[in-house]
Amino acid sequence: MLLIDTSVWISFFNDAKSHAAAFVEDTLLSHHGACINIVIEMEILQGIRDDRHYHTTKTYLEDFQYYPILGREYYDLSVEIFRASRKKGISVRRSLDCLIAANAIINGLTIAHQDRDFDLIKKVFPELRTINILKRVQSPRI
Protein backbone atom coordinates (compact mmCIF):
# COMPACT_ATOMS: atom_id res chain seq x y z
CA MET A 1 0.00 0.00 0.00
CA LEU A 2 1.36 3.43 -0.97
CA LEU A 3 1.10 6.32 1.44
CA ILE A 4 1.24 9.25 -0.95
CA ASP A 5 2.91 12.22 0.72
CA THR A 6 1.79 15.83 0.55
CA SER A 7 4.77 16.70 -1.67
CA VAL A 8 3.39 14.42 -4.40
CA TRP A 9 -0.24 15.51 -3.99
CA ILE A 10 0.65 19.19 -4.30
CA SER A 11 2.41 18.54 -7.62
CA PHE A 12 -0.53 16.37 -8.71
CA PHE A 13 -3.08 19.10 -8.00
CA ASN A 14 -0.98 22.01 -9.30
CA ASP A 15 0.57 20.59 -12.46
CA ALA A 16 -1.23 17.91 -14.47
CA LYS A 17 1.93 17.37 -16.54
CA SER A 18 4.30 16.81 -13.62
CA HIS A 19 6.05 13.52 -12.93
CA ALA A 20 4.15 13.34 -9.65
CA ALA A 21 0.83 13.68 -11.47
CA ALA A 22 1.80 10.88 -13.83
CA PHE A 23 2.86 8.72 -10.87
CA VAL A 24 -0.45 9.27 -9.04
CA GLU A 25 -2.46 8.61 -12.20
CA ASP A 26 -0.48 5.42 -12.93
CA THR A 27 -0.94 4.27 -9.33
CA LEU A 28 -4.68 4.85 -9.40
CA LEU A 29 -5.19 3.33 -12.86
CA SER A 30 -3.16 0.23 -11.98
CA HIS A 31 -5.32 -0.27 -8.87
CA HIS A 32 -2.33 -0.29 -6.54
CA GLY A 33 -3.54 0.63 -3.10
CA ALA A 34 -3.09 4.32 -2.38
CA CYS A 35 -3.79 5.92 0.96
CA ILE A 36 -3.30 9.08 2.96
CA ASN A 37 -3.42 9.93 6.63
CA ILE A 38 -4.91 12.84 8.52
CA VAL A 39 -1.57 14.70 8.60
CA ILE A 40 -1.22 14.57 4.82
CA GLU A 41 -4.83 15.67 4.33
CA MET A 42 -4.30 18.55 6.76
CA GLU A 43 -1.14 19.70 4.96
CA ILE A 44 -2.89 19.62 1.58
CA LEU A 45 -6.06 21.37 2.66
CA GLN A 46 -4.48 24.11 4.76
CA GLY A 47 -2.63 25.40 1.69
CA ILE A 48 -5.74 25.88 -0.45
CA ARG A 49 -6.98 29.48 -0.57
CA ASP A 50 -9.98 29.18 -2.90
CA ASP A 51 -13.10 27.85 -1.09
CA ARG A 52 -14.45 25.96 -4.09
CA HIS A 53 -11.10 24.29 -4.75
CA TYR A 54 -10.86 23.47 -1.02
CA HIS A 55 -14.25 21.71 -0.97
CA THR A 56 -13.57 19.85 -4.23
CA THR A 57 -10.18 18.64 -2.99
CA LYS A 58 -11.56 17.67 0.44
CA THR A 59 -14.29 15.59 -1.21
CA TYR A 60 -11.74 13.97 -3.55
CA LEU A 61 -9.44 13.00 -0.67
CA GLU A 62 -12.29 11.45 1.33
CA ASP A 63 -12.38 8.58 -1.19
CA PHE A 64 -8.91 7.43 -0.15
CA GLN A 65 -8.30 5.00 2.65
CA TYR A 66 -6.98 6.61 5.79
CA TYR A 67 -4.27 4.43 7.14
CA PRO A 68 -5.11 4.61 10.09
CA ILE A 69 -6.08 7.22 12.62
CA LEU A 70 -2.88 7.98 14.48
CA GLY A 71 -2.52 6.75 18.07
CA ARG A 72 0.04 7.25 20.82
CA GLU A 73 2.53 4.75 19.36
CA TYR A 74 2.81 6.91 16.23
CA TYR A 75 3.73 9.98 18.25
CA ASP A 76 6.24 8.02 20.32
CA LEU A 77 7.96 6.64 17.21
CA SER A 78 7.85 10.09 15.59
CA VAL A 79 9.80 11.53 18.51
CA GLU A 80 12.24 8.61 18.36
CA ILE A 81 12.78 9.21 14.61
CA PHE A 82 13.44 12.91 15.13
CA ARG A 83 15.79 12.42 18.09
CA ALA A 84 17.71 9.47 16.58
CA SER A 85 18.21 11.42 13.36
CA ARG A 86 19.50 14.46 15.22
CA LYS A 87 21.92 12.28 17.25
CA LYS A 88 23.39 11.08 13.94
CA GLY A 89 23.77 14.67 12.73
CA ILE A 90 20.77 14.51 10.41
CA SER A 91 18.38 17.45 10.52
CA VAL A 92 14.81 16.58 9.62
CA ARG A 93 13.27 19.90 8.61
CA ARG A 94 9.66 19.11 9.44
CA SER A 95 8.64 17.08 12.46
CA LEU A 96 5.37 16.17 10.73
CA ASP A 97 7.45 14.13 8.28
CA CYS A 98 8.59 12.06 11.28
CA LEU A 99 4.94 11.40 12.10
CA ILE A 100 4.21 10.38 8.51
CA ALA A 101 7.28 8.11 8.55
CA ALA A 102 6.14 6.55 11.84
CA ASN A 103 2.73 5.85 10.26
CA ALA A 104 4.45 4.10 7.36
CA ILE A 105 6.84 2.06 9.51
CA ILE A 106 4.19 0.84 11.94
CA ASN A 107 1.80 -0.19 9.17
CA GLY A 108 4.30 -1.49 6.60
CA LEU A 109 3.40 1.21 4.08
CA THR A 110 5.63 2.63 1.36
CA ILE A 111 5.83 6.44 1.20
CA ALA A 112 5.75 7.94 -2.29
CA HIS A 113 7.33 11.38 -1.94
CA GLN A 114 9.37 14.27 -3.34
CA ASP A 115 10.74 15.35 0.02
CA ARG A 116 14.37 14.95 1.12
CA ASP A 117 13.33 14.46 4.76
CA PHE A 118 12.17 10.92 4.00
CA ASP A 119 15.49 10.07 2.34
CA LEU A 120 17.28 11.37 5.46
CA ILE A 121 14.99 9.44 7.83
CA LYS A 122 15.62 6.27 5.82
CA LYS A 123 19.35 6.58 6.56
CA VAL A 124 18.58 6.20 10.27
CA PHE A 125 15.53 3.93 9.96
CA PRO A 126 16.26 1.63 7.00
CA GLU A 127 12.99 -0.22 7.57
CA LEU A 128 11.19 2.84 6.17
CA ARG A 129 10.14 1.98 2.62
CA THR A 130 10.10 4.90 0.21
CA ILE A 131 9.78 5.80 -3.44
CA ASN A 132 11.35 9.16 -4.22
CA ILE A 133 9.46 10.29 -7.32
CA LEU A 134 12.24 12.69 -8.31
CA LYS A 135 14.97 10.03 -8.16
CA ARG A 136 12.72 7.60 -9.99
CA VAL A 137 12.41 10.08 -12.86
CA GLN A 138 16.13 10.85 -12.91
CA SER A 139 17.13 7.17 -13.02
CA PRO A 140 17.05 5.49 -16.41
CA ARG A 141 14.54 2.66 -16.65
CA ILE A 142 15.86 -0.73 -17.63
Number of structural domains (the chain) is 1
For 50-72, write each residue's pLDDT tens digit. 999 999 999 999 888 887 677 89
Residue 24 has pLDDT above 80, yes or no: yes
pTM: 0.89
Mean of per-residue pLDDT scores for the chain: 90
CATH code of 112's domain: 3.40.50.1010
Tell me what pLDDT residue 140 has. 41
Alpha-carbon distance of 4 to 6, in angstroms, equals 7
- C-alpha 109/C-alpha 128 separation (Å) is 8
Taking 80 as the threshold, does the pLDDT of residue 124 lie above it?
yes
- DSSP code of 23? H
Q: What angle do CA 4, 88, 131 make, to 5 degrees?
A: 20
**Structural element, H or E, at residue 99:** helix 95-107
Taking each continuous run of H as one helix and of E as one strand, the counts in the chain are 8, 5
- Residue ranges making up the domain that contains 97: 2-138
- Distance separating alpha carbons of residues 97 and 108, to the nearest angstrom: 16
Residue among 6, 25, 34 at smallest CA distance from 115: 6
Q: Using CA atoms, how far apart are residues 76 and 102, in angstroms rounded to an integer?
A: 9
Is residue 126 pLDDT above 80, yes or no?
A: yes
Cα distance between residue 66 and residue 69, in whole Å: 7
- Average of per-residue pLDDT across 23-30: 87
